[in-house]
Amino acid sequence: MDPINIFIAINIIATFVANVSGAKKGVKDKVAVFRDKPKTYLQTLPLVISTVNLLILILAVFQIGTLTYEQKFFSLRIISLIVYLIFSWIQIWSFKTLGEYYSQEIAVRKEHKIISAGPYKIIRHPQYLSQIFVDLAGAVATLSFVLFPLALIQIPLLILRAKEEEKLFLKYFPEEFKTYKEKSGFMLPFIG
């Protein structure tokens, strides 16, 4: 197996193990009491695409749906691998920072608060930014011609999902979220 793909495979396993606690928390969310949980396609469609992207990345590790690995692409693949690794761990850091407020759904719990620590101190949606970079960099690192277009399609959906979350926060925490918004970027530092 290709050495870059071995690193990606190991990282997929490591990040999966690291996210098990988040998945367990997501199961508990089904019975949690919410103040608000909007019914929108943004609750499920981005998550479905992310899952499909992960499955395609796993296939790409085994060189299914990829271009032929040529030496001329090696530097690009190495850079993409580094970006993939960095952002997959930023994503985990984001989930861990949210702690009990982590949810796979757009929702505000009855006892909710704005998290502005860790990566959330700099940007409001590090988990979505990370998902974008993980998928794009994973596609380039494996030269997956199947994953790359799906990763591009996912970008506007994640942006819309983030904006939907912000509407909820403005509704339930108008002053606190406005202050937080002034000090942080949307998905990039100092922007939005």
Res 28: pLDDT: 57
CA distance readout (Å), 115 to 14, 50, 101, 171: 25, 24, 8, 16
Res 64: pLDDT: 97
Residue 33 — very low, low, confident or very high, per pLDDT cuts 50/70/90? confident
Q: CA end-to-end span of the chain, whole Å?
A: 42
Q: Give tens-digit pLDDT for 8-18.
A: 999 999 888 87
- Which amino acid, one-letter code, is at 113? K
- What is the CATH number assigned to the segment(s) 59-100+115-192? 1.20.120.1630
